[in-house]
């Protein structure tokens, strides 16, 4: 069985079309069909059923599809490891993270890291914490960085830390000069908060409820960029890790005021890798860099 046949089959499964798979691979549709026939001969079973509506996998095809993609990704990983042995100054890292972790950790880390290793390439996939962890097991991700990640087997937590959420406001806000702010003071301000699909928002609701306070934010959004913009325009105060708005803080456009000691929300952030798959040079260097950043952020 040839590797090319598996590659063609994997693309056919992804596109569900002989023509689309052929276009993506820059080959004739007959080449796709011929390789599928080779696979069917090798396994002694029909893998696909062809129709005017595309292709449908047989039971045997479903079984092969479940393993072919991972096999190809594992081979690509081995290719990268061989590149490392050759001492090549190139590499690719696939990072999966849930939304809040991207702005909080991944974006500032990569902005600094790529200056040190300009020949490396990065692909960042923003997804749920569970999907990010699952991507490690399927070899789609080299590294997963998650907030509030579920406990799952087959994952190694390389580093765990906490990130604190501060009250973020316009630099000219009357409360910007305070050394801290209470939850009651926050509840009385016009707030902009992430929607309830964010685990951090769920933590905010629980914290305020425990103090007998209700949250009635003026703005609710799934966009961290909108939270920033609303604060910059003086329309609201939000709760975010200071690292998320580091640039605005350094420029004097925003202020970060800690919540009264013992009442701040702290979210667990985890750097995860696959326990049975060694990292490439590029991925390992990035993981080391993320670890140092997390230690610094955790104080």
Tens of pLDDT, residues 111-139 = 888 888 887 889 999 888 888 888 888 88
CA separation for the pair 293, 145 (Å, rounded): 12
Q: Mark whether 152 and 272 lie in a shared domain.
A: yes
Can you tell me the distance from the alpha carbon of 194 to that of 239, in angstroms, rounded to the nearest whole number?
A: 9
The answer to the question of residue 175 being in a domain is yes
219 and 248 share a domain?
Answer: yes
Of residues 273 and 197, more confidently modeled: 273
Q: Which domain holds residue 17?
A: 1-73
Within a domain: residue 214?
yes
CATH number of the domain bearing residue 141: 3.40.190.10
46 assigned to some structural domain: yes
Averaged pLDDT for residues 78-98: 69
Residue 78 forms part of a structural domain: no
- Higher pLDDT pick, 216 / 198: 216
Q: Are residues 92 and 116 in the same domain?
A: yes
* pLDDT over threshold 60, residue 88: no
| Per-residue model confidence as pLDDT tens digits over 226-279 | 999 999 999 999 998 887 788 899 999 999 999 997 788 888 888 999 888 888
Question: Which tokens hold the place of 28?
Answer: 């004739």
Check residue 299 and give its pLDDT.
55
Residues 147, 281, single domain; the answer is yes
For residue 279, being part of any structural domain is answered with yes
Looking at the structure, tell me whether residues 146 and 230 fall in a common domain.
no
Q: Which distant-in-sequence residues (6+ apart) come within 8 Å of 154 by Cβ? A: 136, 137, 274, 275
Work out the pLDDT band at 77, boundaries 50, 70, 90. low
Return d(Cα 12, Cα 22) in angstroms, integer: 8
Give the residue carrying structure tokens 């020949």.
119
The domain boundary, picked from 30, 48, 73, lies at: 73
Residues 219, 168, single domain; the answer is: yes
Same domain, 91 and 149: yes
Question: The domain that contains 14 carries what CATH number?
Answer: 1.10.10.10
User: Where a domain ends, among 22, 49, 73?
Assistant: 73
Residue 87 pLDDT > 50? no
In this predicted structure, the answer to whether residue 86 has a pLDDT above a threshold of 70 is no
In a domain, 79, yes or no: no
Q: Do 122 and 259 reside in the same domain of the chain?
A: no
Cβ atoms 97, 222 nearer than 8 A:
no
Asked whether residue 167 falls in the same domain as residue 234, the answer is: yes
Residue 152: pLDDT above 60?
yes
Q: Are residues 244 and 113 in the same domain?
A: no
**152 with 31, same domain?**
no
CATH number of the domain within which 194 lies: 3.40.190.290
Q: What's the pLDDT band for 81 if we cut at 50, 70, 90? A: low
Q: What total of structural domains would you count in the chain?
A: 3
Window from 142-146, 153-157, 210-214 with minimum mean pLDDT: 153-157
Using CA atoms, how far residue 68 sits from 39, 46, 62, 139, 240, in Å, is: 12, 16, 10, 12, 41
Verify that 209 and 236 share a domain, yes or no. Answer: yes
Q: Is residue 208 part of a domain?
A: yes
Look at residues 32, 53, 73 and tell me which one is the last residue of a structural domain: 73
Stated pTM of the model: 0.60
Tokens of 287: 């993981």
Task: Tell me whether residue 25 is in a domain.
Answer: yes
């Amino acid at each position: 069985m040839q590797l090319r046949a598996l590659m063609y089959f994997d693309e056919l499964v992804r596109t569900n079309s002989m023509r689309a798979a052929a276009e993506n691979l820059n080959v004739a549709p007959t080449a796709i069909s011929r390789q599928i026939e080779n696979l069917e001969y090798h396994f002694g079973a029909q893998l696909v059923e062809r129709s005017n509506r595309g292709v449908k996998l047989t039971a045997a095809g479903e079984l092969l599809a479940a393993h072919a993609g991972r096999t190809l990704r594992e081979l690509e990983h081995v290719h990268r490891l061989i590149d490392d042995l050759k001492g090549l100054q190139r590499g690719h890292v696939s990072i999966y993270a849930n939304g809040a972790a991207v702005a909080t950790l991944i974006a500032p880390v990569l902005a600094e890291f790529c200056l040190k290793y300009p020949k490396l390439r990065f692909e960042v996939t923003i997804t749920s914490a569970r999907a990010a962890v699952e991507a490690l097991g399927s070899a789609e991700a080299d590294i997963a960085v998650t907030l509030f990640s579920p406990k799952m087997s087959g994952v190694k937590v390389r580093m765990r830390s906490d990130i604190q959420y501060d009250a973020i406001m316009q630099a000219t806000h009357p409360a910007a000069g305070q050394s801290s702010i209470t939850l009651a003071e926050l509840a009385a301000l016009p707030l902009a908060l992430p929607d309830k699909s964010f685990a951090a928002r769920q933590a905010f609701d629980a914290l305020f409820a425990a103090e007998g306070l209700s949250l009635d934010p003026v703005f609710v959004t799934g966009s961290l960029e909108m939270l920033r913009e609303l604060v910059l325009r003086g329309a609201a105060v939000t709760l975010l890790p200071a690292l998320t708005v580091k640039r605005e803080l350094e420029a004097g456009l925003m202020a970060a005021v800690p919540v009264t000691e013992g009442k701040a929300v702290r979210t667990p952030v985890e750097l995860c890798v696959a326990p049975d798959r060694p990292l490439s040079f590029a991925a390992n260097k990035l993981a080391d860099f993320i670890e140092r950043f997390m230690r610094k952020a955790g104080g």
